[in-house]
Structure 1
Amino acid sequence: MKALIGSLAGVALLATSAFAQTSNTTSSTGSKTSTKTMKTRPAAKEGTPAEEAKESPSMEAKEKAAAGHHRHHAKHHAKKKMMHKSMTKKAATTTKS
């Protein structure tokens, strides 16, 4: 019984998507539209990135620490860049007068 209901629901979903694709086409004969079917993605795997890449927990910890180190330097660089930008803007406004 559950299989019957499931298959009917699947057919209904496929029929509605097929109907929606055909109802959005234009009726002009001068333009040609290509009908491409969309590819569906496989279901995402459940798990941590370490399990998916077959990495050890210690290697994962090292990578996380390296990413944090990189993020720290990136923030510092962004702060310096903004300070330089604001200083040049102030210098340009004061030299005009």
Structure 2
Amino acid sequence: MNKNDLVAAVADSAGLSKADATKAVDSVFDSITDALKQGDEIRLVGFGTFAVTDRAESEGRNPRTGEKITIPASRQPKFKPGKGLKDALNG
């Protein structure tokens, strides 16, 4: 499922026009992104938790040349599924 499919599913499920569903989906994505940028955690009970983890600088190797390279430190988004989502997938 891509974003257009998600918008269509939201529009059908909520009885919205596709334009309104697009605004709603974009708003949710923007809100999650903004919260993660600020270092906040988003907990959606029954669905899961979005969080940010800091990744330290590390050393790697170029697979073609074997040359050592430095992988810079970065912030990575993480998602941990909640019990409700796990149960829905395995139930």
Fold equivalence (TM over 0.5)? no
**TM-score, L = length of structure 1:** 0.30
Identify the structure with bigger relative contact order (alpha carbons < 8 Å, sequence gap 6+).
2
Higher helix share: 1
Structure with a larger share of its residues in strand: 2
Q: TM-score with structure 2 length normalisation?
A: 0.32
